[in-house]
Chain A
Amino acid sequence: MTSPAKAEGSGPSIALDPELDTNPEPAKGPEKLEGRSPGQLMWQRFKRDRTGVICAVVVILYFVIALAAPLLTKLSGTNPYTLYGQDPTYADTPVLDDFGLPLGYFGGVSSTHWFGVEPNWGRDLFAMLMYGMRTSLFMALGVTVLVMATGVLIGLIGGYAGGRTDYWIGRVTDFFLSFPSQLFFIAFMPVVTAFFVDPREATPTYFRALAILIVLWVLGWMGMARLVRSTVLSLREREFVEAAKVSGASPWRIVRKEILPNVVSPILVQFTYQLPSTILTIAFLSFAGVGFVEPTPDWGRLFAAASKYAEQDPSFMFFPGTALVIFVLCFNLLGDSVRDAFDPKSGR
């Protein structure tokens, strides 16, 4: 609803849709003319975007579900490690037929196994998915945030400093780019394990997580750095940067206040692509035998395993697959919405 009082009082600096104003009170003189930060403007634009809000809720829900996995599996009374189809203690409630395929409807959906069971072993798919999401989401988030932060930092330095600094940073980036990261990981992991882990002790899971995190980080920041560098290069010569320079702002302030806000949209877009693809990279590493190993649940590996049973037991792929599709879709749409909110000119 339009508030006439506000529309009247709006100066040119806040030529927004007045409806967006969070302050429902009527205008009270000149104080009302206070400016809003780009962040506040963005937030107001974002709230208007219904798709964006829905997607944000869904994405947050995913993270909450992942965090609350132990609570949820307590509700269902299952855990991701018990082989319900093979364990003699569960022999009176068979979940698999002689071929190792789930009994009953839709991959063995029942009151105990909400999403059915895994073929061959009869592990509970609901518990595996909840815990798998936990592993994959938080690993991917960690990797992506590290990669983004490093990429932005190096890109900013290279782009803004220019000259020799830029040249050397560029060559270092090239050097890292030439590493085939997944092959490197396959070669690197056994060596590191042999070096740090006692041959008669199991490799701890946190060790694997840390190794994945570090390698994907060290070998993953280059794309981001190049992207940021090129954006910064074009921004550096713009009038508002010149103006800031002339008015005596320090380079650090210029980078922080003038340039960084303008590279937010490519960063966000990149982030929304990077996170789902990192989930898949981690899944590939598990598949190649250097990432997480069975029985640590992993969303990506669950999906890969399901593809083998696509014909015989399609519902095994249905739940993890649907969850992944919804997540990736929402995450990308959310990214689009956030970008639009930051930079309405680039919108549809």
Chain B
Amino acid sequence: MKSFNSRRARAIMVVVATGSLVLTGCSENKGGSTGKDSKKDQAEASQQSKAVVYADAAASTGPAAEVPGAKPGGTVEVYQEAGLSHLDPGQIYVSDGGQVANLLYRGLTNFSEDGKGGTSVVGDIATDSGKSSDGGKTWTYTLKDGVKDQNGNVITSADIRHTIERQYAAFIFDGPTYLQTWLSGPKYRDALKDGGFGSKHLPANVLDTPDPKTVVFHFDVPRPDLPQTLAMPGYSVVPAKTDTKAKYDKAPVSTGPYKIAEYKAGKAMKLVKNTNWDPKTDSVRHQYVDGWNFDFGVTESTQTSRLIADQGATKNAIQLTGSVESTQIQDVVGNAAVNKRTIKGYQPYVMSLNFNLDRVKNKAVREAVTYGVNSKSLIAGEGGVYGGDVAPNLFAPTLPGYEPTYDPYGRLKMPQGNIAKAKELLKDVPAAEKKLVFAYSNSEAGQKRKVAIEDALSKIGITVVAKEVDSASYYEQIGKLKNPYDIYISGWGQDWPSPATVVTPIYDGDQVADGAPNYSHINDPEVQKLIKKALTQEPTEAAATWREAHHYILEKVLPGAPLWYTKQLQLYGSNIGGARYSTESSYIDVTRLFLKS
């Protein structure tokens, strides 16, 4: 065969390439509709944010309900841009680890979703979501029979004790700290320095394991959210016998439906079926496919291009936590066949422009900025209507207690900012207070935000002094109490579906500290009173209190201007069945996937 490197071939190539460029460039863009109606979307989203139900023993008994049309067999390809930072359950707090943990590990409880927005907490290796007594201060869990790890060892209450105690050890530093803090206070590490590996253990009045099947937690105040906390991947079981401490991060022991067959950190991971996992004990997870091939280092734009093309092995592929590259959104949504293979939903993050309340003391300035910011140009930098949605308030659509129509600053009506109103508010403000130092992360996304913020605020007469902050240490810099900045953008999402994981960490005055996520340094006695009240209430009563706190914070204090809600848009191959969005993880639900052929 003649080589293609002839001059003629090259000439043809050039003509074809230029021709196609000219053709694409010349076709008129009449502005096809995105088919997006954000009001309708948000109303639908609010259905997803029903309060979480604590399920009983019947709902916690396996096997899980069959997925319609599900077939066993095959291997799912998983694309992911960056390698996993941790595999040790105790270290897992971020989403990529959480997705993998759902295949590998089991905890005392787990989230179960009905696909219509209802989320419940079921017992995972416990028989139910937990029995509380003593007004919510004591929680008792009974373990199911026949739960084994991948080596065939039965999971007992000693393993649960070990799982919790090892979180006190120094080698666990990246995981959630809710449970430890509740049990032993903020300086919990001092309570058990060797993490239960020595002879010292947590006393029975804190954590009690009277027999191999029972675990009892004792708290000093009511902790109604405990079942949801225990469902976090970070509190998955680590069997005591096979714990290798720091080395566990590379070679963990599986309790879930799959186990690790091969792991090359940052490159690839292969999961195979865990034969010791008994479907009769698990009411959420399935084991339809034979295995999973994780492919790390595939960039989001490559993932998107491959999945749009849908050829060969990519037909069996999913995106783990990656989403459709923002520039390629139109190619996905504009093509009906591709659009069918997407997963859409709101992520739990609310992006807001925080005011440093130690510096921006004039509420008129804060209000003017809130009226003046242009949510639309900020969202444009994030990928447009599929990347984000205008946020009228500080609660995300995924949060129970979300109010789609609560819009005290008229953002839904004027997402590009109410310049007239802002100018009016600033009329009597002295010039010195109209100069705001805006810190932004010096990345591409950060620079885009800078342009949008500068553009919007200069229109209402505020002098924006933009300061770049190294992107790797952005959150560290704005987290410093004595930071020299006035305004900065940050995002926060719930840890489980309860306003307690939003209002408490970012608006509680007790949590103002270096590095804490209370970036606006709000310290308001009324807010604290409401938080204390809500934390001890049952979910339904608490909802009203949280709502009151939310309204008070946004209208009376205004620590930050709500900017946008982030959205999820993921793509999967045509051979993947059972794909749906998980409100809880805000990614594709990996527990129910199968291959159609």
List residues of A whose CB falls within 8 A of some B CB: 81, 83, 85-88, 91, 94, 96-108, 119-121, 190, 199-203, 287, 289-290, 293-295, 308-309, 311-312, 314-315, 318
Contacts and interface: CB of A to CB of B under 8 A. Distances in A.
Nearest to A88: B416
B487 to A, nearest CB: 12
A262 B330 CA distance: 58
B31 A103 contact: yes
Contact of A293 (B331, B377, B450): B450
A86 B30 CA distance: 18
Interface stretch (B113-121, B466-474, B517-525, B551-559): B466-474
A311 to B, nearest CB: 7
A97 B31 contact: yes
Given A83-B451, A202-B467, A295-B454, A99 B26 contact: no
B151 interface: no
B327 A308 contact: yes
Of A83, A91, A290, A308, most B-chain CB atoms within 10 Å: A83
B484 A199 contact: yes
A175 to B, nearest CB: 28
A121 B30 contact: no
A105 B451 CA distance: 26
Of B383, B466, B467, B470, which is in contact with the most chain A CB atoms at under 10 Å from its CB? Answer: B467
Given A83-B377, A85-B380, A98 B471 contact: no
Contacts of B450: 293-294
B452 A86 contact: yes
B381 interface: yes
A314 B18 CA distance: 11
5 contacts: A86-B377, A87-B377, A100-B383, A102-B29, A309-B327
B437 interface: yes
A190 to B, nearest CB: 6
A108 B25 CA distance: 10
Closest 4 CB pairs of A and B: A86-B377, A97-B31, A289-B442, A98-B34
A190 B471 CA distance: 11
Interface centre among A100, A120, A200 (most CB of B within 10 A): A100
A102 to B, nearest CB: 6
Contacts of A98: 31-34, 36, 384-385
Contact of B443 (A100, A289, A295): A289
B21 A105 contact: no
Contacts of B376: 86
Contact of B377 (A101, A102, A121): A121
A134 to B, nearest CB: 19
Given A88-B419, A200-B437, A318-B25, 11 more contacts: A83-B451, A88-B417, A97-B34, A99-B329, A99-B330, A99-B386, A100-B383, A101-B330, A105-B26, A202-B466, A295-B454
A200 B465 contact: yes
Given A86-B416, A94-B31, A294-B447, A312 B331 contact: yes
A106 B465 contact: no
A104 B329 contact: no
> Range of interface residues on chain B?
35 or more
Contacts of A87: 377, 416, 455
B428 interface: no
Contact of B455 (A83, A190, A314): A83
A315 to B, nearest CB: 4
Contacts of B447: 289, 293-294
Nearest to A99: B330
A153 to B, nearest CB: 36
Given A86-B416, A289-B443, A295-B451, A99 B328 contact: no
B439 to A, nearest CB: 10
A188 to B, nearest CB: 13
B3 interface: no
Interface string B427-439: 0000000000100
A97 B301 CA distance: 22
A200 B374 CA distance: 24
Contacts of A99: 34, 329-330, 333, 384-386
Contacts of B33: 98
B28 A202 contact: no
Contact of B32 (A97, A308, A311): A97
Residue from A102, A107, A314 whose CB has the most chain B CB atoms within 10 Å: A314
B213 interface: no
B31 A289 contact: no
B384 A199 contact: no
Q: Which of B21, B327, B466, B485 has the most CB of A within 10 A?
A: B327
B335 interface: no
B1 to A, nearest CB: 31
A104 B468 contact: no
A338 to B, nearest CB: 30
Given A86-B376, A121-B451, A295-B454, A200 B484 contact: yes
Contacts of B5: none
Nearest to A97: B31
B21 A314 contact: yes
A91 B31 CA distance: 15
Contacts of B6: none
Contacts of A86: 374, 376-377, 380, 416, 452, 455
Interface string B325-339: 001111101000000
B199 interface: no
Nearest to B21: A314
A312 B21 CA distance: 10
A98 B451 CA distance: 20
A203 B437 CA distance: 12
B380 A315 contact: no
B448 interface: yes
Contacts of A287: 444
Nearest to B36: A98
A96 to B, nearest CB: 8
A287 B442 CA distance: 10
Contacts of B36: 98
B26 A311 contact: no
A211 B25 CA distance: 39
A51 B327 CA distance: 40
B25 A107 contact: yes
A97 B329 CA distance: 13
Given A121-B377, A121-B451, A106 B417 contact: no
A190 B25 contact: no
Contacts of B419: 88
A315 B25 contact: yes
Given A190-B470, A202-B466, A312-B330, A103 B30 contact: yes
Contact of A101 (B29, B301, B452): B29
Contacts of A293: 442, 447, 450, 466, 468
B200 to A, nearest CB: 45
Contacts of A318: 21, 25
Interface in B2-53: 21, 24-34, 36
A172 to B, nearest CB: 31
Given A203-B468, A289-B443, A120 B328 contact: no
A107 B29 CA distance: 8
A293 B467 CA distance: 11
Interface in B440-491: 442-444, 447-448, 450-452, 454-455, 465-468, 470-471, 484-485
